[in-house]
């Protein structure tokens, strides 16, 4: 059976690789990790590059050569025969519940993830991952999801407002956007029952602070809002809450 080998540094595969290096043509090359005889999946050009040797140093790809074309050495050698190497994957909608979830993502080749409903815990994971303290994918996280108090006929669609960033007026919305930005969250996540005026305030302040807004389409109207303030930073994610 053939396997897929996913390596963290492959997420920068084409940006940091040199396939030709005349200065190293006549002497032995060494690195920290050598992957031998691997099949590279070139996703940019929709092709397979068979039987390649990949030398990695300081977590970056140093060289790629056809198998056995150059003398390459490293203290760790991985036999890549009948295996495939691809760029790191991104999970663009995740809700990890623990550090173990993040490690499982990495094991399965996910080298980046967007957490759609975060809090100070996910923010802490992000900082630990960036410092090297935590093994896991690169984290792009929201804080608590912005939500409004739903009308009576929609309350059965919202289990509880506990743990949400509740904003029912412009003042609260603007203050919340500022707070999330100051805390270090990467984007604002909005949900289904925010009033139009509140949504407009969120976008206005987010645009001013240069922070993206992602979210769900309004339950009742099937749209976010009519104001031009909604343009620029909004990334439509879901429709009707799905």
All CATH 3.40.50 domain ranges of the chain, comma separated, are: 142-238
Choices 3.40.50, 1.10.760, 3.30.1890, 3.30.70: CATH for 142-238: 3.40.50
Instruction: Pick the more confident residue, 227 or 129.
Output: 129
Q: How confident is the model at residue 161 (pLDDT cuts 50, 70, 90)?
A: confident
All CATH 3.30.110.90 domain ranges of the chain, comma separated, are: 89-140
Per-residue pLDDT of 121-153, as tens digits, reads: 999 999 999 999 999 999 999 999 999 988 776
Name every residue whose Cβ is closer than 8 Å to that of residue 143 and which is 6 or more positions away in sequence: 118, 119, 123, 165, 180, 183, 185, 188, 189
What is the CATH code of the structural domain delimited by 89-140?
Answer: 3.30.110.90
pLDDT at residue 151 in the model = 75
Question: What does the alpha-carbon distance between residue 2 and residue 84 come to, in Å, rounded to a whole number?
Answer: 8
What is the rounded average pLDDT for all residues in the chain? 83
What sign does the dihedral 145-151-154-156 (CA atoms) show? Answer: positive
Closest CA to 188 of 153, 212, 158, 216: 212
What sign does the dihedral 9-13-15-19 (CA atoms) show? Answer: positive
Instruction: Pick the more confident residue, 47 or 161.
Output: 47
Ranking 19-33, 38-52, 120-134 by mean pLDDT, the lowest is 19-33
Name every residue whose Cβ is closer than 8 Å to that of residue 74 and which is 6 or more positions away in sequence: 30, 31, 32, 33, 34, 55, 56
How many Cα neighbours within 13 Å face the side chain of 52?
19
How long a stretch of residues is the chain? 242
Which segments within 58-175 are labelled E, that is strand?
60-66, 72-73, 76-79, 83-86, 89-94, 110-115, 138-141, 146-147, 165-166
The mean pLDDT of 93-115, rounded to a whole number, is 96
Helix locations, 152-224, DSSP H:
170-183, 196-209
> What pTM did the predictor assign?
0.74
Query: Angle, nearest 10°, between helix axes 170-183 and 196-209?
Result: 30
Q: How confident is the model at residue 171 (pLDDT cuts 50, 70, 90)?
A: very high
What sign does the dihedral 136-138-140-143 (CA atoms) show? Answer: positive
């Amino acid at each position: 059976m053939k396997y897929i080998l996913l390596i963290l540094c492959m997420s920068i595969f084409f940006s940091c690789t040199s396939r030709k290096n005349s200065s190293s043509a006549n002497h032995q090359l060494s690195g920290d990790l050598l992957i031998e005889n691997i099949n590279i999946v070139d996703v940019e050009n929709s092709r397979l590059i068979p039987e390649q040797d990949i030398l990695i140093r300081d977590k970056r790809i140093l060289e790629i050569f056809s198998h056995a074309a150059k003398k390459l050495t490293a203290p760790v050698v991985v036999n890549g025969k009948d295996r495939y190497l691809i760029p790191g994957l991104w999970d663009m909608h995740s809700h990890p519940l623990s550090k173990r979830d993040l490690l499982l993502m990495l094991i399965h080749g996910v080298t980046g993830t967007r957490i759609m409903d975060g809090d100070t815990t996910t923010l802490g994971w992000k900082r630990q991952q960036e410092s090297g303290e935590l093994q896991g994918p690169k984290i792009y996280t929201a804080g608590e999801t912005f939500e409004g108090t739903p009308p009576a006929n929609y309350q059965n669609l919202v289990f509880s407002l506990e743990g949400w960033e509740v904003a029912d007026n412009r003042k609260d919305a603007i203050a919340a956007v500022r707070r999330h930005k100051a805390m270090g969250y990467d984007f604002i996540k909005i949900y289904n029952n925010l009033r139009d005026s509140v949504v407009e305030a969120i976008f206005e302040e987010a645009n001013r602070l240069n922070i993206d807004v992602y979210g769900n389409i309004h339950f009742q109207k099937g749209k976010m809002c009519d104001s031009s303030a909604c343009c620029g930073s909004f990334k439509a994610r879901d429709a009707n809450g799905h």
